[in-house]
Amino acid sequence: MKAAVFHAPNQPLTIEDVEIDNPGPREVLVRTSVAGLCHSDLHFIEGKYPTPVPIVLGHESSGIVEKVGRDVTYVKPGDHVITCLSVFCGHCEFCLTGHMSICQNPEVKMLPGKAKRLRWKGEHLNQFTNLSSFAEQMLVHEHAVVKITPDMPMDLAALIGCGVITGYGAAVHTAKVEPGSTVAVVGCGGIGLAAVNGAKIAGAARVIAIDKDPAKLDLARAFGATEGVIAGEDTAKKIMEMTQGGVHYSFECIGLKQTTELCFQMLRPGGTATIIGMIPVGTKIELHGPDFLRERRIQGSMMGSNRFRIDMPRLIEFFQQGRLPLSQLVSGRLKLSQINEGFAALQKGGVARNVIVFDQ
């Protein structure tokens, strides 16, 4: 099969002929339909996060089941699925207490370099987040997929696999946005737009979108933002004035030190800042200690604290009801051979999500 192989930070991905195993027990072979180009992949390409190389990146995808291994009961060949890096075991402490997105069981969520499913030039090729969707096929645990209806467009379904579930889940599950509350979302890329939409679905009275790009603020309004603010040095002051004391909930959707601190600064007493973006390794966040005395909180969110086999079908229903404008998230559809151009566009900015569409 063809796959995009990542060799070293700040080097272009190369399209290579790669071998993939047949499915073993509890494993599923998926023919990749669409893979999204996510900022998380870009963090690894830029060297902000370490990973064993060579490796096939990609983690936001949809596809069709081709083969299943022994003991697989959830899917069969021909099923349409969305993948998710939140592979769960179903029986550890995290899973049994409803925190499946942070399951750590190495039986299903193998550590970097441990999965032995891919080969290139006869040598081991690393699998990214137990998925590696920048390839024509994926070999995954059955607990890494969710079945979807065949009438769901595959390019839009892929977006649900990471960006949409992460932003939506951060608002609905991690922060538990309450009806009538005021929300601020910093960064209106794919994840930020999903957080805006999640806050709207949760019943927030005001959803303030914050970004440097006016076009993204216009897009945020289509996802449910009630107001838009151009980011600048006085953003925190502006939000405090607009809300007469700060927001109940803020969401950081970029992964920067300054925007993380901004999210905490714009909280009202008792407010909660949820950090979704991947902050580079080694970055330290500075907060004003006395602000905690007014019960302001800051927390992280992993993949929107999702229960993806429940959440993703619900998100498809929201799309079909017209409550989730997924079509507006797709900035461009590319071939696998254009993957480096897609990431260059992501670095430049101004796109919500480019997707790789594979020939079926």
Query: Which residues are identified as catalytic?
Result: 38, 40, 43, 59, 162
Q: What residues are paired with 64 via a beta bridge?
A: 31, 80
- Asked if 345 and 351 count as a contact pair (C-beta separation under 8 A), the reply is yes
Which three-class secondary structure string do you get for the chain?
CEEEEECCCCCCCEEEECEECCCCCCEEEEEEEEEECCHHHHHHHCCCCCCCCCEECCCCEEEEEEEECCCCCCCCCCCEEEECCCCCCCCCHHHHCCCHHHCCCCCCCCCCCCCCCEEECCEEEEECCCCCCCECEEEEEHHHEEEECCCCCHHHHHHHHHHHHHHHHHHHHHCCCCCCCEEEEECCCHHHHHHHHHHHHHCCCEEEEEECCHHHHHHHHHCCCCEEEECCCCHHHHHHHHHCCCEEEEEECCCCHHHHHHHHHCEEEEEEEEECCCCCCCCCCCCCHHHHHHCCEEEECCHHHCCHHHHHHHHHHHHHCCCCCHHHHEEEEECHHHHHHHHHHHHHCCCCEEEEECCC
The structure tokens listed for 66 are 């081709």
* Buried/exposed 299-316: b ≥16 CB within 10 Å, e otherwise: eebbbbbbbbbebbbebb
Cis peptide before 106 (omega within 30 of 0): no
Q: Count Cβ atoms below 10 Å from residue 257 Cβ, excluding itself.
A: 13
Alpha-carbon gap, residue 236 to 246, rounded angstroms: 9
